[in-house]
Structure 1
């Protein structure tokens, strides 16, 4: 495959997600930030759709210093009626494998397209009923209704495992999907009641909101556990009755046993804000993103918090098949106030501010979605550029423009210090 070179910064080493100070080498901050490699995907109604989108999630290579992976979501889209327009219906969610070469440039090693168990490329189309759907409708650019894909994925996070395979979570399902090194599906883990496989997440996760699934996921440094973050409050028991807009859930999945645990996370914002990617510091301490949908240069919320699962309560309950999960006084957790939850003896994860990107570096992107902890209190930061398009308000694409610079938004990598 042709290698793409982009000048970026002096050598850094992105190794396995741990706090080894040797993961950072001679970073030249004067050259940051830099755009990730991209090309033009297509032009639609005079709008250039870039072959970008890499930044919905990111992860370090588990053994090779200076290498990392970034992943797209389901593809370029805009809101339309009661669903979305998929602007390139045959787009396949894709992993990009990068390295920082000896000259300090980003070098694309390869693209890995995600595939179904038969080895055929998947799409970003929604799943059918019973396979992870919550009623999403996909339209083509001309407004006609598109079909579904049993193996479709709105991928949002990625983990590179030491054995060369990948774990990916998404906003459908929510699914946690295991892919081999070539991107072929090996296993799909979904909530109880979703017909995709034998190993399961608790049934309550089937009540995720449309486009608000498992936005972040990482693996603990010991390689034993996946840790997933839901993007925001779920509709438990129903959209009308879920009232605690700052409550979201974290789920852990033991890779050996399939056992799960659930923890509560208290957002600063509300139901319209997002808890995005998560990256580990240790087996119990993590960094998570909180963001809103505004551009940072227009006062948007773009923060990273340190959280710790130690001391937090497992709120799984005794019956993992219960679609409303654990209840307090016959109310689902999303119906309870934080005072009610505390009074019942349950503790959320602890959190402290690690960095405010707007205050720290004047971060101007809206979709701050990928982070990788590099050790030595250094953090790699990625944004989802939405393939360079935005919604014009009438269900059509327009060029996504950064208000501060007036340029088309493109996926960009930053390195920041954290507290």
Structure 2
């Protein structure tokens, strides 16, 4: 299914093929554009204060923890809990009262003026939307200076929770956003949280929290700590600290959210284990189902954490798996891969626990794209590939040499670090082109956005 704007974009893309040096169409996923934003610029939040670590509260920093398409050239990009690379207080893992937010970006493709890629990607920051609650939140000792009587902002600071609360207390102020998707009507956004695990609903225009999906108790961590290591050692079940709700997809019909933790639950093997859970949430009723996902890679005999999830249609999905190597880590990228899976006919494992019990019901997956190999084939060194590729979204179709191609946008989380080991570490977005041949017969149904009247 093509969006209403496709015909216009196709006309523009037809011009691209006459003006740009476009490679011949191939039955393979290819890199067609890349762009970047400096991490050192200011965002449009309007905040003027300085955070506890000495960093400006309006630092753009990172934008790639989550990436969502909102129709046309409009995308929403989201940083995580904020800067914590500057050592200032190990008792809170160097986190600050940085207010979580998402950015509205214009990502426009145009004929390439130089280089080997067919398109240039321009990135324009249009709006920054901070996230808040009208209900009073539990902050502990650190309350955001921007708070008002009607706006209680969430923050990334790890001690912003009530004493004795568990990880699914909706009034805890700490928020580490990782996944974002736009509702069918486009007036809402769904955001996942690693501290929770939560899936929150926010008003897209204002940033006000308007709802929350409650996950099954098995995901809850009972004992909280401002230090991730202490929180891990203090729990025997639930999500792993700093490895909570990570990826999020929304089916093209807008009826189902699909997400997962970054690592298996503690009782399923915890961080480093291989049996993750995919959870589906009915947007209307909140009803959930769970499915087993094996993140083991035979080629390296290692288990890799899952970073993002994207819906191909109402039952098939793409999963982004990666190591933590590459630009931003001072090392060489090895595993950055996207796998395709289907939940059609999969067994609901909601009543099962433990890796051995989940393993027989793991969904089948096939490799869709080796990102690292594709980028290196396009001229990137393995040290230039971002360590944390985390945001993933489809966009409008394009036409290359008369052939219609679908687009896939991938963004990196740079941890608010503009420079690592003497190397620039900007916010990067890569655009790939693919078609039905690359999907092995799976139907591709892109989301059609219909703004609320």
Common topology (TM > 0.5): yes
Is residue 218 of structure 2 the alignment partner of residue 201 of structure 1?
no
Question: C-alpha separation between the residues in 2 aligned to 1:255 and 1:275?
Answer: 23
Matching residue of 1:210: 241
Taking a change above 3 Å as real, the CA distance of residues 310 and 31 of structure 1, as seen in their structure-2 partners, is closer
Taking a change above 3 Å as real, the CA distance of residues 43 and 258 of structure 1, as seen in their structure-2 partners, is closer
- Measure how far apart 1:208 and its partner are: 0.4
Matching residue of 1:353: 367
Gaps of 5+ in 1: 1-13, 135-148, 190-199, 318-325, 327-331, 390-398
* Aligned counterpart in structure 2 of residue 310 of structure 1, from 330, 344, 349: 344
Give the 5 Å matches for 1:13-28. 26=13
Give the 5 Å matches for 1:9-408. 26=13, 32-36=33-37, 38-40=39-41, 51-61=60-70, 64-78=71-85, 84-86=93-95, 89-100=96-107, 105-117=122-134, 118-126=150-158, 127-129=161-163, 131-133=165-167, 150-163=172-185, 164-181=187-204, 182-189=206-213, 200-206=214-220, 207-236=238-267, 245-269=273-297, 273-295=304-326, 298-317=332-351, 326=352, 332-334=353-355, 336=356, 341-342=359-360, 347-362=361-376, 364-374=385-395, 376-388=405-417, 399-401=419-421, 406-408=422-424
CA deviation digits over 1:65-97, x for unaligned, max 9? 1111001111011487576111xx231111110
Q: Equivalent residue of 2:259, what SS?
A: strand
- Measure how far apart 1:295 and its partner are: 0.8
CA deviation digits over 1:283-335, x for unaligned, max 9? 11111110111116614211111111112111112xxxxxxxx2xxxxx323x
Question: C-alpha separation between the residues in 1 aligned to 2:53 and 2:284?
Answer: 50
Give yes or no for contact 1:279–1:371 (8 Å, CA) kept in 2: yes
- Measure how far apart 1:39 and its partner are: 3.7
Greater RCO (Cα-Cα under 8 Å, separation 6 or more): 2
- Measure how far apart 1:230 and its partner are: 1.0
Q: TM-score, normalised by structure 1?
A: 0.72
Taking a change above 3 Å as real, the CA distance of residues 247 and 371 of structure 1, as seen in their structure-2 partners, is same
Taking a change above 3 Å as real, the CA distance of residues 213 and 243 of structure 1, as seen in their structure-2 partners, is closer
Taking a change above 3 Å as real, the CA distance of residues 38 and 151 of structure 1, as seen in their structure-2 partners, is same
Question: C-alpha separation between the residues in 2 aligned to 1:71 and 1:188?
Answer: 19
CA deviation digits over 1:175-231, x for unaligned, max 9? 111111210111233xxxxxxxxxx21111110000000111121110101101111
Taking a change above 3 Å as real, the CA distance of residues 39 and 58 of structure 1, as seen in their structure-2 partners, is same
Q: TM-score, normalised by structure 2?
A: 0.67
- Measure how far apart 1:32 and its partner are: 3.2
Gaps of 5+ in 2: 23-30, 43-49, 111-120, 135-149, 221-237, 377-383, 398-404, 439-453
Superposition RMSD in Å: 3.4
Matching residue of 2:448: none
- Measure how far apart 1:99 and its partner are: 1.6
Question: C-alpha separation between the residues in 2 aligned to 1:44 and 1:81?
Answer: 12
